[in-house]
Amino acid sequence: MGNCPFCQNRIQEVVFDDTRNFMALYNIAPIFPGHSLIVPRRHVQSVMELTTPEFEELMDFTRRVTVDLLDVFKANAFNWTLQDREAAGQTLAHLHVHIVLRFPNDLPDPGDWYPLVKQNYGEILDSAHRPHLADKDMQTIVHRLRHRTGFKGE
């Protein structure tokens, strides 16, 4: 928890924030346009640490954010990914769900997603290994998403 970027308020890309327990962030290094994260406000590493009401809220919020992302980015498919603890490839010890929008022909075969993740041994999901968005591009996207939901920002 000491240097967790989610807990230290070093994350400025909040785009959806209408629940008591969770927020949605736009990924600074998106795999595909729309790639966002659902993050609990309190520091938990595992989905198993959530209460049943929190788990239900997580699923509902993730679904609602996904619906908005699909609309804003004109996508019609998505992957949800959650690496729970280090052995599963979790690189940041704070629970987060990736919403990765999918587009026609984004990969040669849609099923290539799984070999791509396996080949990169999780690096594709670790933003440290992907090019980061320029600040101006991030602000443009965040503004567009906030406008869609009416979220005013922090």
What residues are annotated to the active site? 96
CB 34 within 8 A of CB 25: no
C-alpha 73: how far from chain center = 15
What stretches of 19-125 show up as alpha helix (H) in DSSP? Answer: 52-72, 113-119
Residue 3's alpha-carbon distances to 10, 26, 98, 116, 152, in angstroms, are 10, 20, 21, 30, 27
d(CA 36, CA 89): 18
